[in-house]
Amino acid sequence: MPETTDPDNMTEEEENSAVVIDGEVLGNTQYVAYVIQENTGADIFRIEPVTPYPTDHETLVNLAADEKSDNARPEIAAHVDNMEEYDTIFIGYPNWWGDMPMIMYSFFDEYDLSGKTIVPFNTHGGSGFSGTISTIAELEPDAEVNTDGFTVSRDNVEDAEPDIISWLDSLGYGK
């Protein structure tokens, strides 16, 4: 989620983690998910904690570091009731401290994605996937994890739509 909804009054940290599309502020990963949805017809499910993450950047960074060091499993606010109906799942997340946010571990703990295809994508500040695709494969050993995920720097998200579409087409998921 973006740290602000005001496109005209963003701090540098807010500008780093959000894009403004047609006057609307979207989180970087949220924007990539929307482009995927738009070009595949996929459903979107937001993995959000019961206790919302803080919108203040420094507070969020500190919380992310604490969650990682504690190996936390934040409780997920909502649940996918019909996971069995999906064969392919695009999993998107920002890179936090060289890893997925800990709530992603909560998600993988909650769902058995055996027999499904998992297609990872992420946004980052310079770290790319940082081995998270391998981590997903370890967490979901009976799923097919696509190792050709899409990763984009926060500096390039706003202009990434053609690259996202090309990536989807190369995997056979484009419309």
| pLDDT of res. 60 | 84
What pLDDT digit, counting tens, does each position of 32-45 carry? 999 999 999 999 99
CA distance 61 to 69: 12
Nearest to 17 by CA among 103, 93, 71, 72: 93
What pLDDT digit, counting tens, does each position of 110-134 carry? 999 999 999 999 999 899 999 999 9
Q: Specify the pTM.
A: 0.87
* Contacting residues for 156 by C-beta, under 8 A, at least 6 apart: none
DSSP run (H or E) holding 150: strand 150-153
Confidence of residue 59 (pLDDT cuts 50, 70, 90): confident
Nearest to 146 by CA among 128, 124, 175, 167: 167
CA distance 44 to 124: 20
Task: Please compute the mean of the pLDDT values over residues 52-65 and round it to a whole number.
Answer: 84
CA distance 107 to 85: 17
